[in-house]
Structure 1
């Protein structure tokens, strides 16, 4: 069966040769590449690409997801650079396209989109069998969650403080949580790659009382038990469940999404 090699920007990429040189500027994609058996082709990564921990240590860093060192990328002579619409800035992507033969753009917005992501990477780098194995594993988790009944609850997924920030409903995180009928508050959308995809909020906003569960993510801000104690002492949060959650499990796509769905199901089961 033919697999699609068309990326999120609508560009169809040719199949890569055996000597492809890949720079990944997306942490979850870096992990996915290793899961697909492509570790020996990865020649560059960001400092935030930390999984799989032992394997990535041997891969040179080229800056961060936002602060990409273009000269460092150029020096690695990559045949392919993999980017993401949310995590990498458009001027950087445009600059890379001037000297990298293949800039592969990704933009999964829901857990289901991982199936297309596996297919894309599998088709370009000729690892279709490994990609299909991941697809079967992901599909089984999605089916298992869909087969259960989950009570609806308004949740606030917190990613930052000073200012307080959360996620819009058209983000991957919100789509992930909706699988167990957890509806992120506030009910706003940020638009395609819009700045409002991660809106600020405060505890005095209209509708805040409807939030039943406060989810403090471990990334990008590292919330700890100390923050749970502080928030529990705030009268405006009286009666709300406050808990720490693994941000990687709930926000990383790629191969991590499979384990992430197991994690989400456990969280929702314990809360039910």
Structure 2
């Protein structure tokens, strides 16, 4: 996101999960993970602004850093709040014009998505041992809605645990196995195809469902391709 806004020269620290652009990973100071920020590394960098996230970062660490530095905490749960985050980030970093243009482009691309009809009932899995899915107050849930999908766990919140038995009982039309935070693979795909043969099971790139910065420029195109693939599979 910061790179997209042209702030590359001003970014002095990143987390180990900040993998784009790839050249940053070896040219910027890494301050740990989102849940275990190395506070002493941040202190050594003396940043003018720290960007944190309500869901990803530890409240205790954010509060500790806010005693020494200016900290902005983002809270994104759907597309409107993501677009607002982009606009605010532009104001905070002096890139308002670029940020507003970016938000408009993202919004227009999402408006062009043609949702599936009729709606498919989907179970989106993010973790294994135990299996975990997504509730109605998550960004992923909003992305599914924009594809025309109905989350079979839409009556729940956050990231509830589930089980094979519960998923069989829910009888979804479609099971999506995400690439993150747990990286489901071909073995899992084969396993679920046997466990729930009445549902179509697919592997999906979690970045397009859960990264709510400039990655959203690419999400509508990915969703459109995915919808086409799913429709072809169901018609077959």
How would you bin the TM-score normalised by the shorter chain? over 0.9
Structure 2 unpaired stretches of 5+: 232-236
Give 1:173's aligned residue: 140
The one of 85, 88, 108 aligned to 2:76 = 108
2:116/2:149 contact within 8 Å kept: no
Give 1:249's aligned residue: 208
Shift of 1:53: 1.0
Which is helix-richer, 1 or 2?
2
Alignment: residue pair count:
231
1:60 and 1:183 map into 2 onto residues whose CA distance is 41
Question: Residue deviations 1:49-88, cap 9 Å, x none?
Answer: 1111123421110110000111111010011100011000
The one of 214, 219, 227 aligned to 1:268 = 227
- 1:119-268 to 2 correspondences below 5 Å: 119-145=87-113, 150-190=117-157, 197-205=158-166, 208-234=169-195, 237-268=196-227
Question: Residue deviations 1:98-144, cap 9 Å, x none?
Answer: 111x1011011112222211110111111122112211211211211
Question: Residue deviations 1:30-51, cap 9 Å, x none?
Answer: xx00000011111111101111
Question: Residue deviations 1:181-200, cap 9 Å, x none?
Answer: 2122222332xxxxxx1110
Instruction: Say which structure, 1 or 2, has more relative contact order (CA 8 Å, 6+ apart).
Output: 1
1:228 and 1:206 map into 2 onto residues whose CA distance is 15
Shift of 1:206: 7.7
2:78 and 2:144 map into 1 onto residues whose CA distance is 10
2:172 and 2:192 map into 1 onto residues whose CA distance is 14
Give 2:234's aligned residue: none
2:12/2:29 contact within 8 Å kept: yes
Q: CA RMSD in A?
A: 1.5
2:164 and 2:34 map into 1 onto residues whose CA distance is 31
TM-score by structure 1 length?
0.81
Shift of 1:203: 2.2
2:37 and 2:115 map into 1 onto residues whose CA distance is 43
Structure 1 moving runs of 4+ over 2 Å: 147-151, 187-190, 205-210
Shift of 1:149: 5.7
